Amino acid sequence: MLVRDVMSRSPKTVTRDTQLLEVVSLMCLFRFSGLPVVEDEDRLVGFIAEKDVLHRLFPTLEDLKDGMAAVDLDALMGQYADVLNLKVSDVMASNVITISPDMHLLRGATSMVRHRFRRIPVAEGGKLVGMLSLGDVHKAIFQANIAGTLKRY
């Protein structure tokens, strides 16, 4: 079974200029843990994950050197509204790891697990062609095995 057999073919995408308010709304409403960032003709230029947004609220290295007791975590959480005014380009990862649609499904899942991703862009020639999630992989393996089990009886 190949990645192309299981991947989501029309993933929701954003651009570098998309405001984070729109991105986090999609993340929270539709439970997206991350979204591919594309430019002209679905050329993949980045990826934005929940951790990229939330990272802006974490204490800095300087805060930690001064001791966590001195850090006002509630004040940091209060900066969330400021974070929402940023654009995707301010927080996205540009060095995107992708998999090929012609890759074996378990090889794609292995890549996700190795990098601690729950979802990964599927690209061909730098162009986004889909997304694969661990849930997609699990469901496909489950269905293949259940169908195989039913055929044996």
Domain boundaries, given as residue ranges, for the chain: 3-152
Torsion from C-alpha of 107, 114, 33, 120, nearest 10 degrees? -30
Decide which of 76 and 66 is more confident. 76
Is pLDDT at 150 greater than 80 in this prediction?
A: no
d(CA 140, CA 138): 5
Which tokens belong to 2?
Answer: 């190949």
For domain 3-152, say whether CATH 3.10.580.10 is its number. yes
Q: Where are the beta strands (DSSP E) in the chain?
A: 34-39, 43-49, 119-124, 127-133
**pLDDT tens per residue across span 3-27:** 999 999 999 999 999 999 999 999 9
Average pLDDT taken over every residue of the chain: 89
Mean pLDDT to the nearest integer, 60-81: 70
In contact, 14 and 28? CB cutoff 8 Å:
no
In contact, 98 and 44? CB cutoff 8 Å:
yes
